[in-house]
Amino acid sequence: MLTEQQRQENASVVRNVYKTDNDIARRQVNRAQLVLDYIEHVRNDPFASRAQKEADLAAMEDLALENDVVSRLLSFNDAEWRQVRDQAIAVLGSVMSGEVREDNLEAIRQTVPRRSVFLPVEQEAVVTNLVNLLTKPNTFIDPEATQSAREIAKASVPPVVRSFQQGQVVVSGGQVINEADMEALIQLGLLHAGDTNAPELAAAFIAVLVSLVMVGLYLNRYHLRNSEEVRVILLSGLFFLAFLALARLMVDQPGSNMVAYLYPAVALSLLLTALVGARFAIMASIVLALLVGIISASVEMVTLTAIGSVVAALTLRRDAHINAFFIADVQAGVANAGVILAFGVTEFSIDGSLLLQTGLGLANGVLSAALALAGLFILGSVFNITTGLMLAELARADHPLQQSLIRKAPGTYQHSLLIANMAENAAEAIGADELLVRVGSMYHDIGKMYDPIIFVENQHYGGDNIHDRLEPVQSAQYIIRHVPEGDRMARKHRLPAAVRDFIWEHHGTTTVRYFLHKAIEQAGGDESAVNVADFTYPGPRPQSRETAVLMLADSCEARCAPTARPTRKASAPSSTPSCSKRPAPASSTTAA
């Protein structure tokens, strides 16, 4: 502090550096020449009366001659006029050759009479009046040079050191503290001794406690069921902390800080809705609004954060497409504008500041949509998190894998549609992720495309059945192969891990029982002669409620399918489904 004070003092004594513009002097001398030529023309005008000449001289632009000077200019004879003319040019040139500044202009004008030598009083007065009117500043402050000189003066000051010994009194009781004393107290760590900021710490503790209770209640009610959900919640927590840190930077007392109205809390709500669901997004938005209120000490910011975020969460569906994000943000922006107007309109008056705040609230929607989509892209591409937006795109029938399935294995495609409808309804009934179940169901049998005719749903009734020519173990291996083949196709098309789990887990570790029984029959009923592992799917068993629902739906469809399967001897299937416990043929399996 003392060093800075000394540097400021040194800088303050440095005088301004000026720069002279010589072009101004030349322009003023040229103007003087034109003025004198005009005066001479008026003097020599044979058709103008005296009064007309005085009016012409008085009407000169930017040159207000005194009345007695005008009268004298017309009274001079030619010799006197030539003296006045020559002296006016000479004196003006002498004056403008020096430094003429705004602060010394009057002083220089007072020196003009002494510059007109050997002239009578009347002629001297005219020359003085003309020169004073034509004298203009030609020297001005050079800001860069002045600042440079002051910086040099500051740099020349060595650091001022103030030292204290152990036990020395820094500030006495009752002493008025100046800036140097304050700096000493701060540097010695004495300023905040004993200051615990108890109210602020208590408020922060209560806010954190309420937040933890709300999160705990949510996780207890909608408990996490698999490792991906844990990973999603952890990443959601990181996003939450990032938005909370952003609030610390952007949010201040509203009204005075326009940036606060651009705080994109709605983006966090959209992210969490697409990742986990609307309930979790609403809970997190309320917690965020509470913490934003602690930061800003503003009811308006609490309401603005909560209302916009909740509206976005309630508007956006987890299976929404990209345009739905902007639609949700528009509605959230309208809600933001309504909150801002509700807090800003007083006595039915609307000013420019309130309109600007309202516009920022609306623009917040577009910013939030862009941030949310960017966050979902990062989660899907970098962290391989299955997002609602990704699932919504995979559920479209025009996906390349779905189109290939329709062309190569139409029976399998119809089977997948049936399973998807059954599993989706079941998932909704038990509170599982119905969108994930539907997408997983649509892709669980894509591996059958490697050789569609192997599977009964793709065989034409009355046609040849390839399994009639194969050993049971060969048929079983062909059928089991659709699981790893499906995973290979899924990886090739970059399907998320959560969808690939349906491919591996929809049969679990069950057996291809129809061919297992057939093999045992060919072995004369000796089960020990048959290796059950050759007829067993690689698994694993379902690791989530969603894959378990698919497994049950697939098994039910297999058991309730038409009993007559295509063989060379069968000409048409039975139209009556059977749910008996007899072994299912071809690709059907039952739980082990």
What does the alpha-carbon distance between residue 576 and residue 562 come to, in Å, rounded to a whole number?
6
First CA to last CA across the chain, in angstroms?
Answer: 83
pLDDT at 539 over 50: yes
pLDDT at 299 over 50: yes
The share of the chain scoring above pLDDT 70, in percent, equals: 86
Please list, in sequence order, all residues whose beta carbon lies within 8 angstroms of the beta carbon of residue 246, skipping any fewer than 6 positions away. Answer: 263, 264
What does the alpha-carbon distance between residue 240 and residue 234 come to, in Å, rounded to a whole number?
10
Place of tokens 């046609």: 463
Maximum CA pair distance of the chain? 152
For residue 445, the model assigns a pLDDT of 95
Q: Provide the pLDDT confidence category of residue 20 given band limits of 50, 70 and 90.
A: confident
For residue 320, the model assigns a pLDDT of 61
The token pair that represents 461 in the structure block: 């009734």
pLDDT at 340 over 90: no
For residue 103, the model assigns a pLDDT of 85
For residue 189, the model assigns a pLDDT of 66
> Of 309 and 13, which is predicted with more confidence?
309
450 and 485 Cβ atoms separated by less than 8 Å: yes
Q: Tell me phi and psi for residue 139, to 5 degrees.
A: -130, 130
What does the alpha-carbon distance between residue 306 and residue 314 come to, in Å, rounded to a whole number?
12
> Of 524 and 349, which is predicted with more confidence?
524
Name the residue among 492, 405, 484 with its Cα closest to residue 443: 405
Average pLDDT over the chain reads 82
372 and 270 Cβ atoms separated by less than 8 Å: yes
175 and 135 Cβ atoms separated by less than 8 Å: no
> Of 360 and 222, which is predicted with more confidence?
360
Name the residue among 226, 298, 291 with its Cα closest to residue 548: 226
> Of 5 and 109, which is predicted with more confidence?
109
Q: Provide the pLDDT confidence category of residue 574 given band limits of 50, 70 and 90.
A: very low
379 and 275 Cβ atoms separated by less than 8 Å: yes
Q: Which CATH architecture best describes the domain 198-386?
A: Orthogonal Bundle (1.10)
Mean pLDDT of 148-170: 77
pLDDT at 379 over 80: no
- DSSP for residue 460: P
The token pair that represents 515 in the structure block: 């061919």
Q: 46-60, 226-240, 505-519: which range is least confident on average? A: 226-240
130 and 113 Cβ atoms separated by less than 8 Å: no
Q: Which of helix, strand or coil describes residue 225?
A: coil
Domain boundaries, the chain: 18-140, 198-386, 395-559
For residue 296, the model assigns a pLDDT of 83
What does the alpha-carbon distance between residue 179 and residue 170 come to, in Å, rounded to a whole number?
13
What does the alpha-carbon distance between residue 34 and residue 29 come to, in Å, rounded to a whole number?
9
Q: Provide the pLDDT confidence category of residue 414 given band limits of 50, 70 and 90.
A: very high
What does the alpha-carbon distance between residue 133 and residue 125 come to, in Å, rounded to a whole number?
12
279 and 377 Cβ atoms separated by less than 8 Å: no
What does the alpha-carbon distance between residue 573 and residue 567 come to, in Å, rounded to a whole number?
10
Q: Provide the pLDDT confidence category of residue 491 given band limits of 50, 70 and 90.
A: very high
Q: Output the DSSP codes for 159-190.
A: PPP----TT--SS-TTPPP-HHHHHHHHHTT-
433 and 546 Cβ atoms separated by less than 8 Å: yes
For residue 309, the model assigns a pLDDT of 92
Q: Provide the pLDDT confidence category of residue 564 given band limits of 50, 70 and 90.
A: very low
Alpha helices in 251-277 (DSSP H): 265-275
Quote the Cα angle for 380-436-217, to 5°.
85
Place of tokens 């902390």: 241
Judge if the upstream peptide bond of residue 540 is cis by omega within 30 degrees of 0. Answer: yes
Mean pLDDT of 535-544: 93
Mean pLDDT of 37-41: 90
pLDDT tens, residue by residue, 174-198: 777 777 777 777 766 666 544 456 6
pLDDT at 307 over 50: yes
Answer whether 0.95 is exceeded by the pTM: no
For residue 588, count other CB atoms closer than 10 A to its CB.
21
pLDDT at 485 over 50: yes
pLDDT tens, residue by residue, 416-467: 999 999 999 999 999 888 889 999 999 999 999 999 999 988 887 556 788 8
